[in-house]
Every structure is written in C-alpha cells, then in structure tokens.
Structure 1
Amino acid sequence: MEKKERTTNRREFLKVTLGAFIGGTLFSCSLSDLKNPKTMVKTPIRTNILRPPGAVPEEHFAQKCIRCGRCGEVCPYHCIKYFDVLSGGVFSGTPYIDVMEVPCYLCMKCVHVCPTGSLVPCAKEEVRMGVAVINRQVCVTWQQNKTGLMCKTCFNVCPFSGIAIKIDHDFRPYIVEENCTGCGICAYSCIADQYPDNNGQKAIRIEPIKWKKIKEIKLEDIKKS
C-alpha cells in the first residue's frame, strides 16, 4: 500500500511539475521570441511519428492525457517515447512512437494501464495508429524489372499478412488500408533502403490515419499496373 502511494505521489508530482514547466516555458516567451509560435500548439504527429495504439482523436488527446508515463513504463519493447517542449509544444510529455526507430509490436499492454482513457482498450486488429503507404518507385519488387529483385519482407513481417498486406498476381505487395493497423513493422523492416539507387530511402512510410484518405489506392489501380 505504501509503495502504491509513493508511486501515485511521484506521478502527481511529475504531472504538476511538467504542467508548471510547460506553462512557464510557453507563457514566459513573447510571440516575438518564438521562430514560429504556431508550432507550439500544432500537433507533432506526422509521417512515421504516431500515437500509441487505441489513442483517442488527436484534437482530444493532449487534454485527456495526464503525462503519467505509465504507457511507456509497461511497454516491453521501449517503443513509446515522450515529446519534449521544443518538439511538442503544448503536447509536451505526451507519448508517441517513431516507427522507424522501434515500431509497435501490438502487445497492447499500454492500453490497459492508461488511467484516463487517452488510450482505449481494443483488439489488435482494431488498432488504427496510421496506414502504410508503399512508394512503388522505390519498392524493389514493384521495380523488379530494373532491380532484378523480388522481396516479400513487408508481407512476411506484417502481423496481419494476407489481410493488411496482400500480394498481387505479379507478387507485388499492396496495402488493404481498412485493415492496416499502422504498427510500422513493415516500414521498419523494409530493405529498399539497401538498394544503391534508392539512396537510403525506404519504400514504406506510415501516415497518421487522420491525414490519409482510406481507399485512395484502389484495387483497380493495382490490376492496371
């Protein structure tokens, strides 16, 4: 009981301290001191930088999240990090996952420890952190006539291969967007950056679900290619 109290008190202290720090940082600066004041209140979520599984819509996240750090503490893969003031502005202290550093392996531990409902418990297949997008000009399999390679790495590592990632009649991968969790394992594992002509560029990126129109890439387009 005493240990639980100490943990709670520590989290409350961190919460209050962080809040005071953010407030002091933001409001002690005049607008002229900031290169771009709008970036302090603009969400830092972007390509490959995503919220953990089960996150509520971004417009509500910063308000609900109390920056307790439990999601990161429980993550066995250490993929959950936290924005600082410079990178996150008012979103400072909230969790994110950089899928190119460590993707989300969908263990789903974080959603069960969130005390405020910022991360909502859900099944793995219901996770919608983002959606994978394949750059066919970079993918070595889509460019197999030029590369002479046929890679199935993204298909093989996908937790829902055959559902979220499928292979067309020419053995080229494509995303079934409505089934993609956005975990980032495919993007992280992509080997296209090893092909000399790609100059270190991966063939897959993960776009936050909010900014990606579902079914933008239609199956008919795949068949025509």
Structure 2
Amino acid sequence: MKKNIRTRREFLKVTLGAFMGGTLFSACNLSDLKNPKTMVKSPIRTNILRPPGAVSEEYFAQKCIRCGRCGEVCPYHCIKYFDVKNGGVFSGTPYIDVMEIPCYLCMKCVHVCPTGSLIPCAKEEVRMGVAVINRQICVTWQQDKTGLMCKTCFNVCPFSGIAIKIDHDFRPYIVEENCTGCGICAYSCIADQYPENNGKKAITIAPIRWKKIKNIKLEDIKKS
C-alpha cells in the first residue's frame, strides 16, 4: 500500500508541476533542457515503452488525461510517469522502463483507463515493442568463445516457443510478429554480468509506434 501511495504522490507532483500556471511550458525552465525541441518530441525510446494496449504516440498525449489510474492498479509498480524535463508535453503520461521493472502482462492497467489511451486486448495481442538480440554479446550466440549456453530469455518469456525460439544450435532468436515487448527477457538477460560486455544486456526492446490491435481501427482512435 505504501508503494502505491508513493507512486500516486509522485504522479501528482509530476502532473501538478506540469500544469501550474495554466500552461505546461510555464512549469519548466527551457534553459534546463539541452534542446527545447525535446518538449514536443516523444520520450518513448529503446527500453522506455508505453504500457500494454497504448495507442499511437501521435494520439497518446491528446487522449491520456494523466489520471494515474494505470500506475495505481499495477501490482508490480512498473508504470511510472514522465516529468516535464524528461517528457515535455508528454509530462504525466505513463511509461515502463523494462530494465528497471518489466511488464508482467497482468493487463490491469488497460481495464481502468477511462479514455481509451490503453486499449483492452488479449496478452498475446500486446505490442509494446519488439525484443532485439545483440548476437555479439549474447552468451549463447558466442558459445564458441564462452563455452556456455544460456536459455534465460527463452525460459522467462511469457510466450516461450512462440515469441522466442531456439535454433538447431540452441541459440535464441525472436519471432518479431509474436513478441509483446514486455521486456522480461531483456530484464533477465545475464550478459551484463560478464566484464567484457561492460554492463550491457544482450537484449533490448525497440518500441513499436503503432501496431493495429484486433478489431480496433485507426479511424476509431481519431474519433474517440
């Protein structure tokens, strides 16, 4: 409960800070930003993703009312909120840093979103992003050098054998069209434990700007 309260307080601080004075920009000193253009540029990037069912970034900032409900119901506390400095006009909107806490696809957030910013869908239809394996530092892909085989990503994937498969040499590969982008594989990757990899994981999650979800049309998003 305390963690939920803290998350709520952090959300309110971010949101109130963003809109104090009547405008988003009045709450932020643009000189604090390296580039003022970042105020209107989507902060979504590798490993920093929207929650499940999120509409396209083109519409997300308009549809999301910054109510904080998605973060409140998340039992894993993986949903955070952008502040003004890091999010610009996207301040107060939710994101998931999969390297901090990945999405475990409980799907509670999509059912409490009041505006359709997060669209209810089946777990297998979630497309937050897509996993990308760096074969140069993957323990198993470099087994000739390491003498090791690791199946961590395969074992932890919620759709093991569907989104992540193993080839004839026991090396993992991603089936992109089946990957939810939940980030559990990236979070669990052990490649960063090897000194030669300089703390880098062998898996990252690239964001998907828009993936049509079953029975949902882009025209419906524009109208709602």
Report the TM range for the smaller structure's normalisation.
Answer: 0.7 to 0.9
How has the CA–CA distance of structure 1 residues 141 and 169 changed in structure 2, closer, same or farther, with 3 Å as cutoff?
same
Q: 1:23 aligned to 21, 24, 27, which one?
A: 21
1:65-104 alpha-carbon deviations (Å, 9 max, x no partner):
0000000000000000000001100000000000000000
Per-residue deviation, 1:224: 47
Structure 2: runs of 5+ lacking an equivalent: none
Q: Give the direction of change, closer, same or farther, for the CA distance of 1:177–1:221 in structure 2 (3 Å limit).
A: farther
- Structure 1 spans left out of the alignment, 5+ residues: none
Report the Cα distance in structure 2 between the residues aligned to 1:149 and 1:114, rounded to whole angstroms. Answer: 44
Q: Which residue of 1 aligns with 2:102?
A: 103
CA contact (8 A) 1:177 1:214 kept: no
Q: Any idea what the Cα deviations from partners look like across 1:19-72, whole Å, max 9, x if unmatched?
A: 862665644478777531110000000000000000000110000000000000
Corresponding residue for 1:160? 159
Q: From the CA coordinates, give the structure whose radius of gyration is larger.
A: 1
Runs of 4+ aligned structure 1 residues displaced above 6 Å come to 4-13, 29-33, 211-225
TM-score by length of 1: 0.83
Which of 9, 21, 26 in structure 1 is aligned with 2:7?
9
Residues 31, 72 of structure 1: alpha-carbon distance in 2 compared, 3 angstrom cutoff: closer
Separation in structure 2 between the aligned mates of residue 143 and residue 154 of structure 1, nearest angstrom: 15
Change (3 A) 1:30 1:19: closer
User: Aligned equivalents of 1:41 and 1:23: distance in 2?
Assistant: 19
Q: In structure 1, how many angstroms separate the alpha carbons of the residues matched to 2:152 and 2:221?
A: 19
TM-score normalised to structure 2 length: 0.83
Counterpart secondary structure, 1:131: strand
Aligned residues: 222
- Aligned to 1:166, the other structure's residue is in SS state strand
Q: Secondary structure at the match of 2:95?
A: strand
RMSD: 8.4
Give distance in 2, aligned partners of 1:92 and 1:222: 21
- Provide the rounded CA distance (Å) in 2 between the counterparts of 1:6 and 1:202: 29
Q: Determine the C-alpha separation between the residues in 1 that align with 2:167 and 2:108.
A: 34
Q: Aligned runs of 1:48-63 on 2, under 5 Å?
A: 48-63=47-62
